[in-house]
Chains A and B, each alone.
Chain A
Amino acid sequence: MNKRIKKLRNESLTAVNKLSPERAILVTEFYKSEIAKQVSVPVKRAMSFKHILENKNICINEGELIVGERGPAPKETSTYPEVSLHSMQDLDILNNRPKVWFRVDDETKNIYEKEIIPFWKGNTQRDKMFAQLPDEWKAAYEAGIFTEFQEQRAPGHTVAGKKIFQKGMLDLKKEIQESIEKYRNTNDSKDLAKIEELKAMNIAAEAIITFANRHADELNKLAETEKDEKRKVELTEMARVCRRVPANAPATFHEMLQHYWFIHLGVITEVNPWDSFNPGRLDQHLYPFYKKETENGTLTKEKAIELLQAFWVKFNNHPSPPKMGVTALESNTYTDFSLINLGGVKEDGSDAVNELTYIILDVIEEMRILQPSSMVQLSKKNPDSFIERAIKITKTGFGQPSIFNTDAIIKELVNQGKDLIDARNGGASGCVETGAFGTESYILTGYFNLNKILEITLNNGIDPRTGKEIGIKTGDPRNFKSIDELLNAYKKQLNYFADIKLKGNNIIEKLYAEELPVPFLSLIIEDCISNGVDYNSGGARYNTSYVQGVGLGSITDSLTSIKYHVFDHKNISMDELLKAMRVNFEGYDQLRHDLIYETPKYGNDDDYADSLAVEVFNIFYDAINNIPTFRGGKFRINMLPTTSHVYFGSVIKATADGRKAFEPLSEGISPFQGADKKGPTAVLKSAAKIDHLKTGGTLLNQKFSPSFFKDDQSIVKLSQLVRSYFRMDGHHIQFNVVNAKTLRDAQKHPEKHTDLIVRVAGYSDYFNDLGEDLQNEIIRRTEHEEL
């Protein structure tokens, strides 16, 4: 990388994470204004968005090529009091917590105390949500049965499709006008609401143009005083770019990156959507520009790389907005899950890998930063050189890129009833979530604790941690005669909690539809404009709400222990086993040893255990899949944990797999740490026994010690291993290449390992930023691989 990029990268890496009150001040100012009280909700949201973009500080960092910051400066992170409000105590915690902290200065605290908190207290989306959610929802939530994504952050979880790379805001404004014409001559209240929504979209489109022009003005001003002739030319050109996009469709490589970046900022300024935003199939969108401009001589490969690297830095400048409480536990990271997709297939189903795909892989390897995340989509149609190049980057050990099965993703989307072309334009975002890019609103609703529900089943409806009866009575397990009776009881219990969760989500979705529409995001996702309906109200072509199952490996091992020792071999009675679990195996060393060492486990291609994974998966799937949502879409499942397997473990006492109380659970669909003894092929076979095509994503972590990668042959064999898993319809696999010794040293001497990035679960993170529990868990997983 050249000197400029080195400097920008370094500035991004060393910028201090700070909480910025700028957005909170502006949004509060607008909500207090007279006009805010007179307009419809969507128009109010759009005007508030406009107010922010018209008044916020314009930040242009020295030497930058792509411009625009959400806050006043890099890593100065906005808050969203209309969604959830930080208390004074929260601000102290954010400032002082040892990991994933945000510095809060006295001025910010003062503004919060005097202006922000008094205005929003009791009126946030979060307050309204908790006022409406029923008691049984709260009881389950507090017990750790599930989490709720929309509790502190707005729905989002979506990705740009090809439309926005081919259209400018002025084109969209025309579409809005056409749509308004369509709904104008009517007195139907629904159509009137559509017109309000469309008006709001129009305001939002204008707001982002204004925002870009403010950057152009500032750039022109800087150009005037710039002494360096070269930079002067650059600044003038950047100003020209900012006047063209996003008002017009981008016409050059540079314009396209800047165009996307303004849209990205728009999405993450309007609200604080989960997984920020994502350009999706970046190599596909950019390639036509790259090809044309390198052929006609207006762009060199070096310049393209520099622009991409400058673009990469922009993502890294934007940490995930600060989370608190359970929400922080379920996803405790600065990463904001913008996941660049590379490769895959084109609309016509042919191989999409191109020259730029490899160039972007080079950029990923060279930049080696946390954000954006990156992945490769691997189809059977892609060449081996593509996957081998990707694995060579993985080998360097920062967890990127992860590898996804394009052919499975397309089948998953088509199974959900989507058009084949929309499916081929899709991919994965966030950690591993399947989506039709640009046409789907696919919202993650919360992690679902499969193991906690087993614990409650084994206690006949009572949570043994608190003694509260939060479940239903499904029978005294000591009277069960077979594993099937236990599974039946589990199914009833799970259905009960799934029902609570889904009803809760419909309340939450309704609240977002009514109170917090997102007219800007609605501009971008098809068919919100033609439907005249907001993204949060079901305006997108497809609407999906996902529930994430967590701890498949752990629950499989627990059920297998019970089947093996209690029912099949009668080594111990259910009564005795439950007693041992209650006392955390105190005085039951031999039993605990046998549960760990003398019991079939998930992850060894052993049907005895794996068939129970399939049972649990199907019970979960049947409880959730295809249930209608408030937005007119469907609930679906996926299997991923982010960091919730640690939180979910912390609310469960000892389990029948020999795990002690409050220890982490297994993550994704990976085997429990250390349970897989037969190597990676057996893990893949076990993991492929559940039907991935029924999900919207599964997450499999596979650890390798660096010694495995000693020659090119091993990279070839690893790529063949991936191809085999994908032939069995596996959805995703990621590799962690780091040895346990390094990790243990990093725990002892974090200062020596500030750049150590590891794969967590669906994303990478700085090892130093992980909680100690999670660090220990990753060390255990890694150690096991080295045996």
Chain B
Amino acid sequence: MLATIFDIKHFAVHDGPGIRQTIFFKGCPLNCWWCHNPESQDVNLEIFIQVNKLDGKEFKRAVTVGYQITSKELMDIILGDQVFFEESNGGVTFSGGEPLMQSKFLQEILVLCKQKSIHTCIDTTGFTSKKTIEMVANLADCFLFDIKIIDNELHQKYTGVPVDGILENLQWLDQNHKNVILRYPVVPGITDTEKNISDIKFFLKSLKNINQIDLLPYHNISKGKYTRFKKENKMKDTKPLSNNDMLYLKSEFESIGFKVGIGG
């Protein structure tokens, strides 16, 4: 079977436990305003012009974003980093885009990883069917699960999809004692409103087992990507958050008994 991916990051140190390799799937059902990987949204291969500089001269060439890869090819790449996984209790993280959009392939690769005892992590928006989340939960070791906006309408506005199914999936993972680390992208004016923070806290309190959340501060390092890939950047005037803002949020979530990390 084939997957469409757009990048593989080796020595990923913020995508789960230990030293990890992160596979970025291409294609996402969401269309978040603050997306850091705009090239990940479209499942189709895209062509853009890459510019290399050498001695002040520019060299342009057409480059395809995304490529197709078989599960065997991907497995060989994953196994290439096995020594690092073993020394650090790390493993592979499937991210994107949305890895669950290519759930058949994901199932195949998760089974292969299990056979080789490789720790797996799924970095997901949670926007998928219950059936898919159950299937993946039975194979993967850990989830990095996004929690963005609790209000359904606002979630729809800023990400393009409703939130209710996402939260149901999260509750199911919680009830079934799955290992989940929540990831909260802190986006100024969108996800860090007083209302949303209090909504998230309220929701978190309803969870029985999950007790860890990473705060991902918005930053504008992907500005260049929007230009390069000719995508509309709705956030171009947003300023990044200060350290103090993050520390305040950290204490907010700690006050309800959560383990809080900053960055990711």
Contact = CB atoms under 8 A, between A and B. Distances in A.
A666 to B, nearest CB: 18
Given A593-B52, A593-B54, A721-B19, A681 B87 contact: no
Interface stretch (A52-60, A125-133, A522-530, A712-720): A712-720
A678 interface: yes
Contact of B13 (A596, A682, A717): A717
Nearest to A589: B57
A679 interface: yes
A589 B55 CA distance: 9
A376 to B, nearest CB: 17
Nearest to B82: A724
A589 B59 CA distance: 9
A291 interface: no
B130 interface: no
Given A679-B11, A713-B13, A714-B13, A720 B54 contact: no
B9 interface: yes
A720 B80 contact: no
A710 B52 CA distance: 31
A724 B54 contact: no
B250 to A, nearest CB: 13
22 contacts: A590-B59, A593-B54, A596-B54, A597-B52, A597-B59, A605-B10, A605-B80, A679-B10, A679-B11, A680-B11, A685-B80, A713-B13, A714-B13, A717-B13, A717-B18, A717-B19, A720-B19, A720-B84, A720-B87, A721-B19, A721-B84, A721-B87
Contacts of B247: none
Contacts of B52: 593, 597
B88 interface: yes
Given A596-B54, A605-B80, A717-B18, A727 B87 contact: yes
A594 to B, nearest CB: 9
B81 interface: yes
Q: 5 nearest interchain CB pairs? A: A720-B88, A724-B87, A679-B11, A681-B10, A681-B11
Contacts of B10: 605, 678-682
Nearest to A710: B263
A590 B19 CA distance: 38
A98 to B, nearest CB: 28
Nearest to A604: B10
Contacts of A593: 52, 54, 59
B83 interface: yes
A548 to B, nearest CB: 28
A717 B19 CA distance: 6
Contact of B83 (A592, A597, A679, A728): A728
A76 B9 CA distance: 52
Interface residues of B, number: 21
Contacts of B59: 589-590, 593, 597
A682 B11 CA distance: 9
Interface string B6-30: 0001110100001101000000000
A786 to B, nearest CB: 12
A541 interface: no
Contacts of B18: 717, 720
Nearest to B21: A681
Contacts of B81: 681, 685
Contacts of A727: 83, 87
A713 B54 CA distance: 37
Contacts of B84: 681, 720-721, 724
Contacts of B55: 589
B153 to A, nearest CB: 37
A420 B81 CA distance: 32
Interface string A340-369: 000000000000000000000000000000
A52 B83 CA distance: 56
Interface in A642-700: 678-682, 685
A723 interface: yes
Interface string A5-19: 000000000000000
B217 to A, nearest CB: 13
A723 B13 CA distance: 16
B56 to A, nearest CB: 11
Interface string B45-63: 0000000101101010000
Interface string A579-605: 000000000011011001100000001
Which interface residue of B52, B81, B84 has the most chain A CB atoms within 10 A?
Answer: B84
A710 B261 CA distance: 13
B212 to A, nearest CB: 14
A589 B54 contact: yes
A724 B83 CA distance: 6
Contacts of A605: 10, 80
A590 B52 CA distance: 11
Which interface residue of B21, B57, B59, B263 has the most chain A CB atoms within 10 A?
Answer: B59
Contacts of B80: 605, 685
B258 to A, nearest CB: 18
Which interface residue of A679, A680, A681 has the most chain B CB atoms within 10 A?
Answer: A681
A602 to B, nearest CB: 16
A605 B87 CA distance: 18
Contacts of A597: 52, 54, 59
B8 to A, nearest CB: 8
Interface in B239-264: 263
A681 B55 CA distance: 30
A723 B87 contact: yes
A199 B19 CA distance: 60
Interface in A715-751: 717, 720-721, 723-724, 727-728
A692 B249 CA distance: 49
Nearest to A720: B88
A592 B87 contact: no
Contacts of A717: 13, 18-19, 88
Contact of B11 (A589, A596, A710, A721): A721
A248 to B, nearest CB: 47
A744 to B, nearest CB: 18
Interface string B69-99: 0000000000011011011101000000000
A437 to B, nearest CB: 28
Contacts of A679: 9-11
Contacts of B263: 710
Contacts of B90: 720
Contacts of B86: 724
Nearest to A728: B83
Contacts of B87: 720-721, 723-724, 727
Given A713-B13, A721-B88, 6 more contacts: A717-B13, A717-B88, A720-B84, A721-B11, A727-B83, A727-B87
A737 to B, nearest CB: 16
Contacts of B9: 679
A597 B52 CA distance: 8
A724 B88 contact: yes
B98 to A, nearest CB: 24
Which interface residue of A596, A713, A724 has the most chain B CB atoms within 10 A?
Answer: A724
B243 to A, nearest CB: 11
A643 B263 CA distance: 39
B223 to A, nearest CB: 16
Interface in A456-497: none
Contacts of A682: 10
A413 B68 CA distance: 47
Interface in B77-135: 80-81, 83-84, 86-88, 90
A617 B93 CA distance: 35
A605 B80 CA distance: 9
A493 to B, nearest CB: 31
Contacts of A590: 59
A721 B57 CA distance: 37
A678 B263 CA distance: 22
A409 to B, nearest CB: 19
A571 to B, nearest CB: 14
B200 to A, nearest CB: 24
A265 B249 CA distance: 60
Nearest to A682: B10
